[in-house]
Structure 1
């Protein structure tokens, strides 16, 4: 009789400690939050921002072809009909400020010399030494194809005017799905843009 009581008491005290442990483990498992996944590229989501809306970005840009390459910090301010772009530190170039309207571009290197052209892409490419599709980038950088030009949708982006635009990473900014990492390439040139910060109407997000 005494032995039975001792065994019962031992089991009681064992379960008294074991049950709370299982309870804690169960509650911990139930309260674990799922890992947040950033959305992938969606052209439908990209339409939430119109090219006429003001925005600005800060990031890093690299451009390369078979023979040359350069990297720079990029600061891009977009207003309806006007884009102002500053490239800081491309190899061999120093700081470059670009003022771009629909079909006219002005470039300054900070030495007081200002040059301009009514052929923006050819002019910019000649100045920096590599072809940069600057007019198209005004649309591609916010996730949109150029209007009035054919394009083909592919997984993660689209093809347009001989270029593949691949949105490798997206980010949610002020309720909008915006690019974080973009690759633009054709058979000759590869451009990579990593966007650290977007701004919309004084709303800032990293």
Structure 2
């Protein structure tokens, strides 16, 4: 666990440089127009197998981190992998309907029913894992209050039923095959801020 925390601490050395690069992707193809939020929402609900890769900037009163990440979704599990700017694995999180499991950089494995608990206790990072399945693809949670942009894509959403009140703002979208998906988003909870920049979406059939 100590080595895991040391690796996360080293990420702070690259924070300012990496965060300045967040959102600096090449121009993407035009977004596919939709006629209503319901049309866009139904299309996103068909998205069950995918991977998002990019950068995660993290700020709270005690630390600043910059990490590379992959978020993978399939029918039976979700995986989050975090890496330093040098490519060193910080941790791998696997979530199934029965459990959450983290493997750290030393190969140690920790299991718990609550993925948020594992992340917080092993890395010190407060990441709303339970909401990411929806938010990462631009869907609000079932109990979220949300607003849309003029193109009928999600502009912002915030939790209303959770003890931890998170707000998410979407600043840029990109086209990945037939899906219009978030490219840049900012998450805020009290004094904690996450900046998520997706550089690549991989859609599987």
Same fold (TM over 0.5): yes
- Quick check: 2:140–2:146 contact (8 Å CA) kept in 1? no
- CA shift, 1:81, in A, is 3.6
Give the Cα–Cα distance (whole angstroms) in 1 for the partners of residues 70 and 97 of structure 2. 19
The one of the two structures with greater contact order (alpha-carbon pairs below 8 A, sep at least 6) is: 2
Give the Cα–Cα distance (whole angstroms) in 1 for the partners of residues 46 and 185 of structure 2. 18
> Which of 130, 136, 142 is the aligned partner of 1:135?
130
- Quick check: 2:32–2:178 contact (8 Å CA) kept in 1? no
Give the Cα–Cα distance (whole angstroms) in 1 for the partners of residues 52 and 98 of structure 2. 22
> Which of 53, 56, 73 is the aligned partner of 2:68?
73
Give the Cα–Cα distance (whole angstroms) in 2 for the partners of residues 90 and 177 of structure 1. 28
Give the Cα–Cα distance (whole angstroms) in 2 for the partners of residues 103 and 153 of structure 1. 33
Q: Does 1:49 align with 2:48?
A: no
- CA shift, 1:123, in A, is 1.9
Secondary structure of the residue aligned to 1:111 is coil
- CA shift, 1:104, in A, is 2.2
Name which one, 1 or 2, has greater alpha-carbon Rg: 1
Give the Cα–Cα distance (whole angstroms) in 1 for the partners of residues 100 and 85 of structure 2. 19
Distance 1:196 1:181, change over 3 A: same
- Quick check: 2:136–2:182 contact (8 Å CA) kept in 1? yes
Partner residue, 1:197: 200
Count of residues paired in the alignment: 165
Root mean square deviation of aligned Cα: 2.7
- Quick check: 2:81–2:89 contact (8 Å CA) kept in 1? no
Q: Does 1:95 align with 2:90?
A: yes
- Quick check: 1:46–1:142 contact (8 Å CA) kept in 2? no
Secondary structure of the residue aligned to 2:146 is strand
Give the TM-score of the pair, scaled to structure 2: 0.70
Secondary structure of the residue aligned to 2:43 is coil
- CA shift, 1:94, in A, is 4.4
Secondary structure of the residue aligned to 1:135 is helix
- CA shift, 1:51, in A, is 6.9
Q: Which runs of 5+ in 1 are unaligned?
A: 1-35
Distance 1:198 1:37, change over 3 A: closer
Q: Does 1:172 align with 2:175?
A: yes
Give the Cα–Cα distance (whole angstroms) in 2 for the partners of residues 175 and 183 of structure 1. 24
Distance 1:199 1:37, change over 3 A: closer
